[in-house]
Chains A and B, each alone.
Chain A
Amino acid sequence: MNSVVAGITYRAVLGRRRVLLLILLPVVLIGLALLLRAIGSTDEKATVTLMQTYAIGTMLPLLGLIAGTGTIAPEIDDGTIIHLLSKPISRPVIATTKFMVAASMLAVFAAVPTFVAAWLLIRDEAGIASGFALGALIGGIAYAAVFLLLGVVTRHAVTIGIIYAVVWENLVGGYVPGARNFSIQQWAQTFADQISTSGFFKASVGMGFAVPAVLIVTIGSVVWAGQRLRSLSLTGDE
């Protein structure tokens, strides 16, 4: 961790227009929870559906994409990253710091609102609120790492990220059971299921797979991002 890198990164992400998306998505989640409460469907089943389809299924990957790529890709695009890279700081430290910033933003903008939304509906009945909050936190950490790596290796990080989240996780994962094993949001649900005792919800990936998968993907992505940053080439305007 480097506090100067972290400080600049927070300001860069939170000062850009994309911070509005970072706020809008959880606001929609809490708005939906309030709406469900207003029409009286404050039951466990509706809460689980909201958590699965919106909180984990939609909001989390999108926030992961915004925070994960947002901490590094714009700086590589406009060349401002040169200010950080032309310093005697190891590049893996810079990558790790950027990852921590992205992960912390996902904790604030994804995990906390997930808990709040479920709690507004059914308090912590059947451990759904805390379960999905944990799932969002761990899934958020994995997304932060993967999308940070994407932001370093390609200039089309956002496109590829959306294709992964929408096509692979939601479409392919919906029809091909095996594909669910390689889906961060499925792993997030696995962790949610550890705390949740709800009968309306059963994770399709076991802990025996999800725990090593999250660890390998997260650590592997951050390490790889650090290595890629070591050989980042900047070309002039020529």
Chain B
Amino acid sequence: MNIELGQVSRWYGNVVAVNDVTMTVGPGVTGLLGPNGAGKSTLLHMMAGFLAPSTGTATLDGKQIWRNHQIYRSIGLVPEREAVYGFLTGWQFVLSSARLHRLASPEDAAAKALAMVEMEDSKERRIETYSKGMRQRVKVAAALVHDPQVLLLDEPFNGMDPRQRLHLMDLVRELGAAGRTILFSSHILEEVERVAQQIEVLVAGRHAASGDFREIRRRMTDRPHLFHVRSSDDRRLAAALIADASSGAVSLGVAGLEVQAVDFRRFTWLLPRVARDAGVTVWQVAPADEDLESVFSYLISGSTR
């Protein structure tokens, strides 16, 4: 099944949360990547029927999503908020989900879903006694109980320990490989890379980039990188570096050298050789703009050119 967004915008008062996004999410695993506050939840809520687009259309296989409860026959939703009834046990929670879907044998479906997330051992405990990761898994079980064709997960790996995280990643990959349409949001590139075949990048409400992880990686590495370099003789190293085309701009400051590397690969190859030939000892090489925000801001400025 396909979720289609056509020129979707959403604003709250004067604040634009999502700005003119057009995308199609098809079978397989799609990662919705973006920094916090980029509008990922807003976009996901519009796909899940919990928010009306201010303009544009959101459809599931051509059918309007907003104000259409029939879509939940095909959609499973794992919200980010810990929206679970703490007084229910895990079993009761997932079973209630199966019953609300009017499944033929709700007990079997609930047992199967709990097994998928490895929660059989704790299913008789009240949800309020669960850790964050356990709550997350029981929410996934409740969303999967009717074997939906579409699964939407909002920051599903948050709060999980590494083992649980890997297990859920495997589960998501399996479901995607089985032909289901899966979309999950995350602000962590590595997470998205490991699970998603298709990545949609959202920055400041805009659809900044789209592609498989190689494409996104390439766009993230093929960009000017800024490095802070400290060495035994900064001046001499600067002179040697500037002779090569891979270092765009080199400036000498009190904290050492600041080098703008135009060609990332060549620069990382070049620096140790240049330093050795010049007889300079390199003490420290620190990327100055490696944080996600700068990667994203690069992506967004690149997409508007």
Where the two chains meet, the residues of A that have a C-beta atom closer than 8 Å to any C-beta of B are 2, 4-5, 7-8, 11-12, 15, 78-91, 230-238
Residue from B52, B88, B100 within 8 A of A87 (CB atoms): B100
Given contacts A88-B72, A237-B81, contact A231 B87 (CB under 8 A): no
Q: Give chain A residues whose Cβ lies under 8 Å from the Cβ of B87.
A: 11-12, 15
Knowing A11-B88, A89-B100, A236-B41 are in contact, say whether A78-B50 is a contact too (CB < 8 A): no
Inter-subunit contact B50/A83 (CB<8 Å): no
Q: Can you show 17 pairs from A to B with CB atoms below 8 A apart?
A: A11-B85, A15-B87, A79-B79, A79-B83, A80-B85, A82-B77, A86-B50, A86-B72, A87-B97, A88-B71, A88-B73, A89-B100, A90-B69, A231-B52, A234-B51, A236-B44, A238-B42
Q: Is B154 an interface residue (CB 8 A)?
A: yes
Is there a chain A Cβ closer than 8 Å to B67's Cβ?
yes
B45 to chain A, nearest CB (A): 6
Closest to A90 in B: B69
Contact A4 B96 (CB under 8 A): yes
Q: Judging by beta carbons under 8 Å apart, are B81 and A83 in contact? A: no
C-alpha spacing A2/B85, complex, angstroms: 18
Given A236-B45, A238-B41, A83-B84 contact (CB < 8 Å)? yes
Q: Residues of A contacting B44 with CB < 8 Å?
A: 236
* Any A CB within 8 A of the CB of B99: yes
Chain A min CB distance to B94 (Å) = 11
Please determine whether A12 and B100 come into contact, CB atoms closer than 8 angstroms. no
Pick the contact of B50: A11, A80, A88, A232 (CB < 8 A). Answer: A232
Known A-B contacts: A12-B87, A89-B100. Give 13 more (CB < 8 A): A4-B96, A7-B96, A8-B96, A15-B87, A79-B81, A82-B83, A83-B93, A83-B96, A86-B77, A86-B143, A233-B45, A234-B79, A238-B41
**Chain B residues with CB below 8 A from A237, complex form:** 41, 80-81
Whether a CB of chain A sits under 8 angstroms from the CB of B39 is yes
The answer to whether B214 has its CB under 8 Å from any CB of chain A is: no
- Contact: A238 with B51, CB < 8 Å? no
Closest to B72 in A: A88
Q: Which residues of A sit under 8 angstroms from B69, Cβ to Cβ?
A: 85, 87-91, 230
A235 adjacent to B51 (CB under 8 Å): yes
Determine whether the beta carbon of B100 is less than 8 Å from that of A84.
yes
In contact, A231 and B67 (Cβ under 8 angstroms): yes
Give the distance to chain B from A54, nearest Cβ to Cβ, in Å.
32
Contact among B45, B66, B100 with A234 in the assembled complex (CB-CB below 8 Å): B45
Q: Could you tell me the distance between the alpha carbons of A11 and B92 in the complex, rounded to whole angstroms? A: 12
Q: Which residues of chain B are within 8 angstroms of A5 by Cβ–Cβ distance?
A: 100
CB within 8 Å: A-B pair count: 99
**CB neighbours of A12 from chain B (8 A):** 85, 87
Q: Which of A83, A88, A90, A230 contacts B142 (CB 8 A)?
A: A83
Q: Is B37 an interface residue (CB 8 A)?
A: yes
Alpha-carbon distance between A11 and B81 when the two chains are bound, in angstroms? 21
The residue on B at minimum CB distance from A78 is: B83
Query: Is B70 part of the contact surface with A, judged by Cβ < 8 Å?
Result: yes
B42 touches A83 (CB 8 A): no
Instruction: Determine if A82 and B79 form an interchain contact, defined as CB atoms under 8 angstroms apart.
Output: yes
Q: Is the CB of B41 within 8 A of A87?
A: no
B83 and chain A: residue at smallest CB distance = A79
Looking across the interface, which residue of chain A has its beta carbon closest to that of B87? Answer: A15
Would B75 and A86 count as touching, CB distance under 8 A?
yes
**Once bound together, how far apart are the Cα atoms of A17 and B67, in whole Å?**
33
Given A12-B87, A80-B85, are A88 and B70 also a contact pair (CB < 8 Å)? yes
B224-243, CB under 8 A of A: which get 1 and which 0? Answer: 00000000000000000000
Bound together, the chains give a CA A232 to CA B51 distance in angstroms of 8
* Chain A min CB distance to B88 (Å): 7
Residue B114 at the chain A interface, CB threshold 8 Å: no
Tell me which residues across on chain B come within 8 A of A88, comparing CB atoms.
69-73, 101-102
Shortest distance from the beta carbon of B106 to any chain A beta carbon, whole Å: 9
CA distance A88 to B60 in the complex (A): 15
Instruction: Decide yes or no whether B36 CB sits under 8 A from chain A.
Output: yes
Alpha-carbon separation in the docked complex, A89 to B81 (Å): 22
Residues of A near B141 (CB, < 8 A) are none
Given A82-B79, A86-B48, A87-B100: A236 and B42 within 8 A (CB)? Answer: yes
Contact between chains at A233 and B50 (CB < 8 Å): yes
